[in-house]
Structure 1
């Protein structure tokens, strides 16, 4: 299974102005760096929690048809399934209709259940395009997630030279881990 980002979010959970104020930096100082740190913080938190904060489109590829017809989606919460297709032995695309699959948003991870209609012969795998996101805009995100992004971005800013010294971040800072703990994929979103 391969998951690939097609369309990143159009905005980040927090602004550079908010991070700059948190860090007490003067206006206009290191804007590009602050933007990258915010993006990195969001990506790290999303990966840690298997959660998508703001709408993003993802492409999921599977080499084989799942025997159970069930496919776990490791990006949540899913807003929509935009396309489901398989590939015939000759390489031609076989597009599934909406009647051929069902999205289960109650399970964790969320799943797509495929029904193999008799007219579909899949030999070379499946592809699913989906859109996922917890909120449509940053102001709709829970404040704990937004604050976790600020704290992690600030931590990355304060420790930006540790990579040169060979230091790697092996886990989230304690405060960030505590803030995102309720969002770990253990229950309902």
Structure 2
């Protein structure tokens, strides 16, 4: 299985002004454009880390999810939440020929942690032998930063500030989240009741 991010978070949606205010950085200085590009890169890195930890897309964008078989015959959990819409499902045979699945063959079931597709009539569409299925969908809390839950937004700013303040340090390899970020993201992490599977 493979999750592909088809579109990226637009620069206009990043909380650059909030981040600069948090760092108490001035404006109107020479080289500010280069500084902004660096701060934007830190924000993107922090967003990616928070999204990976929580399984949530903070800003709406398009994804494709490819897999070779359904996890269950009547449903498939999607790897990112919250899913806003499934735009298309295609069955791909061993020769790479794709056939769209009629929208009436499935429905989206919204869930905070584990949105899923369910097959109408009790089963998901059959995947061709040695083939695959590609699910195109849009996920995210909203189109701009105002739509991001306050605790997750604050976690991103804290983590980006951590990256900024420790930019000259050599990595230790521990990979641990700062405590504040871990605490703010804890309630958004997927609940796992069985090994490797959400809910």
> Fold match, TM over 0.5?
yes
Distance, in Å, in 2 between the alignment partners of 1:112 and 1:36 is 34
CA contact (8 A) 1:49 1:185 kept: yes
Distance 1:169 1:157, change over 3 A: farther
What is the aligned partner in structure 2 of residue 160 from structure 1?
A: 167
1:122 matched residue in structure 2: 128
2:85 corresponds to 1:86: no
- 1:12 and 1:38 in contact (8 A); partners too: no
Structure-2 residue corresponding to 1:145: 152
* Conserved 8 A contact 1:54-1:136: yes
* TM-align CA RMSD: 2.3
Cα distance in 1, alignment partners of residues 152 and 158 from structure 2 = 10
Unaligned residue ranges in structure 1 (runs of 5+): none
| Aligned position for 1:102 | 107
Contact 2:81 2:111 in 1 (8 A): no
Task: State the secondary structure of the residue aligned to 2:164.
Answer: helix
Maintained 8 Å contact 1:12/1:138: no
Cα offset, 1:182, TM superposition: 2.1
Do the aligned partners of residues 101 and 107 (structure 1) sit closer, same or farther apart at CA in structure 2, a change above 3 Å counting? farther
Count matched residues: 183
Cα distance in 2, alignment partners of residues 64 and 186 from structure 1: 23
Q: 1:161 deviation in Å? A: 1.9
| TM-score when normalising by structure 2 | 0.82
Residues 1:94 and 1:157: Cα distance change in structure 2 (over 3 Å): same
Q: Distance in 1 between matches of 2:94 and 2:189?
A: 40
- The secondary structure found in structure 1 opposite 2:157 is helix
Q: Measured at CA, do residues 110 and 69 of structure 1 come closer, stay the same or move farther in structure 2, by a change above 3 Å? A: same
2:60 paired with 1:55? yes
Name 2:22's counterpart in structure 1.
22
Between 1:105-114 and 1:149-158, the stretch displaced more is 105-114
Deviations 1:65-108 (A, max 9, x none): 55514222110000000110102354321210111112121374
Which 5+ residue runs of structure 2 have no aligned equivalent? 193-199
